[in-house]
Chains A and B, each alone.
Chain A
Amino acid sequence: MMKPVPKKYHKRLPKPEIRRNKTAGGNLFDKLHAYRDQHAQALFSSLGRLISSPFTSLMTIVVLAVAISLACGFYLMVINLQQIAGNLETGDQISLFLRDEISDAQANKFSDRIKLNPNVDQVKLISKKEALAEFKTYSGFGSAIDVLESNPLPIVIQVKPKNTLVDKQGFENLLESFKESPEVDIAQIDMQWLEKLESILAVAQLGGTLISVLIGIGVLFIIGNTIRLELHNRRDEVIIAKLVGATNAFIQRPFLYDGFWIGFISGVAAWFIVTGMLLILWQSVEKLSRLYGGSFHMLFLSFSETLTLLLISSLLGILGAWGVLIYQLRHTKPD
């Protein structure tokens, strides 16, 4: 019925000592090949399992993708607002509102005098007429202005100080000198509101970071829970593998790859969600930007930011799976 057992079977009995190396048989090259094959096998069989149960995986992935895209959305909002603030900052300037009784000619003379100041780079005179025209265009109160008999707007001189004048004290000194001029009614630095904007942005950035950390923790736990369920579903397999001598590292491997794929695919999906949303906003933002001189263009996720997004989401997947495995495998015992 059966062939006699070959004699070499006897000779090849394993040696009595504990084999500490994780692989056996063949030379080092073969072992490395076998190790690489094991990883490749685990990587693709894990992807295969995800695809074979698309509904369960899809639900998890959609939840994760939405959560991750929220964090990304916050990040993009902050960097876009910072860009606006950055553009405005290049125009740090002093606005001088002249007294009502100053005529255009006097204003011109005053403006010429300012130009001679060594700390001043550019001077722009906005006459009452120009100010009114600008106001009508942008404020939306054009018809209300028409009702007025006289032009209520003052002559404005915008002074852009030299870039060498970087410190605040120099700025203040220049401002004081303008305030003392008899032609000037009010002199103000346009930077003050910019500072306010910047501190608001700093708060937004911190808030965004906190929310992203929270979302990251959430993602970690969602993936952990998914892996826990998967581990539960495949408990028999885990126990049989343990009984035939699998190390925890071997058992963990396919589950870690599961975590990786869930994280990675969610990251890719989040990228599409965020990019899609930006595309929807893009037209309106460009239109708005044109109204303000077109200095602002919306920022999308750059190549390196996309890589970071995928790296973080994959890493969260692996970490979430790992945390659960460390705990669960210790409690999964053959019976």
Chain B
Amino acid sequence: MLKFDNVCMRYPEVGDVLRNISFHLKHGEIAFLTGHSGAGKSTLLKLIGIMERCSRGHIFLDGQDLAHAKEKHIPYLRRKVGFIFQDYKLLQDRTVFDNVALPLVIAGFGHVEVSRRVRASLDKVGLSGKEKKYPLALSGGEQQRVGIARAVVNKPPLIIADEPTGNLDPELSAEIMRLFEKFQQVGVTVLIASHDISLISQMNHRVLKLDHGQLVTS
């Protein structure tokens, strides 16, 4: 599903940020990406979102090489990945419905289909009936679930979560994690970047640990 093959990332000003990263996540696998700050977690996630290009190596998503994708293919490749952010990245001036609908509108779905899928997605994350609310009227946990609903509404095969529980208390964090396991059960691959060691040890999933740009456990 997601395969890193000897990936190196070097910034001219900083030097090597990632060195010879190789791992393979299978369909329906859930994994944590962990490591001290500055270990290269964010850089690795940026490579998956093609916000940066790696200096060397290959990154395969469903057999497509992200590292050498053409500029015009990038939007279509990004539609196969659902991104979830620590700061939720919601549009504050749009309703919950509009936020979740954005990927579908971009993909060109008709409004009947959009409406059906948005409701299904909000139902999955337990936010039915909050379609017309604005993000600021919701709690942090609810906003993160809007972000998750948006990430899965287009049914991507891969979900990338960058510190999804960073701003949430342990109870809410556990709830969000259970949500990810639900997606895993239907065949979605999930990669969660987190430094919440206690949460990671509770969950008993594969752990990719980065240390100074190198993968130490996988």
Contact = CB atoms under 8 A, between A and B. Distances in A.
B76 A20 contact: yes
Contacts, number: 113
B129 interface: no
Nearest to B157: A13
A37 B113 CA distance: 13
Nearest to B151: A244
A239 B102 CA distance: 12
Interface string A229-267: 000000011011111111110100000000000000000
A3 B123 contact: yes
B109 A34 contact: yes
Contact of B107 (A10, A20, A25, A240): A25
Interface of A is mostly: loop
A34 B111 contact: yes
B218 interface: no
Given A25-B110, A34-B110, A35-B108, A246 B124 contact: no
Nearest to A6: B120
A2 B149 CA distance: 13
Given A243-B49, A244-B106, A26 B113 contact: yes
Interface in A1-39: 1-3, 5, 7, 9-10, 12-14, 16, 18-20, 22-26, 30-31, 33-35, 37-38
B75 A246 contact: yes
Interface string B68-106: 000001011111100100000111000000000011011
A14 B80 contact: yes
A33 B75 contact: no
B176 to A, nearest CB: 12
Contacts of B123: 3
A32 B9 CA distance: 42
A16 B113 contact: no
B75 A247 contact: yes
Interface string B33-76: 00000000000000001010000000000111000000001011
A193 B156 CA distance: 80
A33 B108 CA distance: 9
Interface of A: 1-3, 5, 7, 9-10, 12-14, 16, 18-20, 22-26, 30-31, 33-35, 37-38, 236-237, 239-248, 250, 333-335
